[in-house]
Amino acid sequence: MKRVKIDLQSALQLSASKPSSGLKKVSSENLDVEYTVLLPAAVADELMAQLQQSVEYYEGDLTKVLRILLFVLVNYEGVIRSVKVFGKWHEIPRQQVAYGDEGMKYTFSGVTIKAKPWIPILIDVRDMLHTISGYQYNFVLINRYRNGKDHIGEHRDDEKEMDKNTPIASLSLGEKRTFVLKHRDARIKRPSRRDIPPVKIELEHGSLLLMNPPTNEYWYHSVPPRKSAKGVRINLTFRKINLLS
Ligand SMILES: O=C(O)CCC(=O)C(=O)O
């Protein structure tokens, strides 16, 4: 396929200058999300190509998380006989890296990782999102899904450093994948469980999703595996982090 020569910085500025009326609201109980296909295909293609060249993902131990398994043996009277704790390192099912202002850190499944310093292409995207949303972002987490097996499980972005008042701005490039939101009360055991239907959004190439507060406090999100997905997908979630001293 022939690559169209594009001045990406100007193209992103142009996308940012368009009124954000294209953003469509998706609502449910305590859920406030906005979605639009923001970038024209040629701009999204160029951005994806440049990110493929310039982003350097974590390697080695930084790609692993520790899962703790706790086994408690009780006798028939309910008295604890023994407790065993097993820890196992797992490779995360995708590639990942964080960039941000100096001193920014990212904690994921109990592991804290230093963000890399901004690179020019990410500064351009960050500034575009600032113009669109009106919020300043000082951190971006990049997830790269190599194929349909790569995924991210149900979680909330609830690190204590996250600024709760700043929407998370999520830009998707490449293979379309489903973003699934589940209310926390729909995940718990009966009888307390509530029948709140999940919300599913197809995240397209060049699309922007804004997760406004208080969504992230009440709703878990995930990108499940999708067998039919063959291509690479890159997702950038821009966030505001307040460094706690
Ligand atoms: O890939 C996505 O769209 C979601 C990424 C995500 O859940 C996260 O960065 O917390």
Assess contact for 211 and 70: CB atoms under 8 A.
no
Determine if ligand 1 sits within 6 Å of the CB of residue 179.
yes
Return the structure tokens found at 238: 């821009």
| Per-residue pLDDT at 1 exceeds 60 | no
Determine if ligand 1 sits within 6 Å of the CB of residue 35.
no
CATH for 8-59+93-239, options being 2.60.120.590, 1.10.10.10, 3.30.160.270, 3.90.1150.10:
2.60.120.590
Q: Where are the alpha helices (DSSP H) in the chain?
A: 8-17, 41-54, 120-133, 215-218
State the burial class of residue 26 (Cβ atoms within 10 Å of its Cβ: 0-12, 13-18, 19+). middle
Name the nearest CA neighbour of 115 among 145, 92, 142: 142
pLDDT tens-digit readout, 58-115: 998 788 877 788 888 888 888 888 888 888 888 899 999 999 999 998 787 677 889 9
Assess contact for 155 and 197: CB atoms under 8 A.
no
In angstroms, rounded to a whole number, what is the distance separating the alpha carbons of residues 176 and 205? Answer: 6
In angstroms, rounded to a whole number, what is the distance separating the alpha carbons of residues 122 and 205? Answer: 17
pLDDT tens-digit readout, 151-175: 999 999 988 889 999 999 999 999 9
- Tell me how far the alpha carbon of residue 79 lies from the centroid of ligand 1, in angstroms: 42
Percent over 70 (pLDDT), the chain: 96
- Tell me how far the alpha carbon of residue 237 lies from the centroid of ligand 1, in angstroms: 7
Determine if ligand 1 sits within 6 Å of the CB of residue 205.
no
Give the residue whose CA is nearest to atom 3 of ligand 1. Answer: 235
Give the residue whose CA is nearest to atom 7 of ligand 1. Answer: 222
* Residue 145 Cα: closest atom of ligand 1: 1
Average pLDDT, the chain: 92
Instruction: Quote the pLDDT of residue 19.
Output: 59
Query: Which residue from 65, 143, 215 has its CB within 8 A of the most atoms of ligand 1, so it is best to mutate?
Result: 143
pLDDT tens-digit readout, 12-43: 998 888 756 689 999 999 999 999 999 999 99
- Tell me how far the alpha carbon of residue 76 lies from the centroid of ligand 1, in angstroms: 44
Determine if ligand 1 sits within 6 Å of the CB of residue 216.
no
* Residue 233 Cα: closest atom of ligand 1: 1
Give the residue whose CA is nearest to atom 8 of ligand 1. Answer: 237
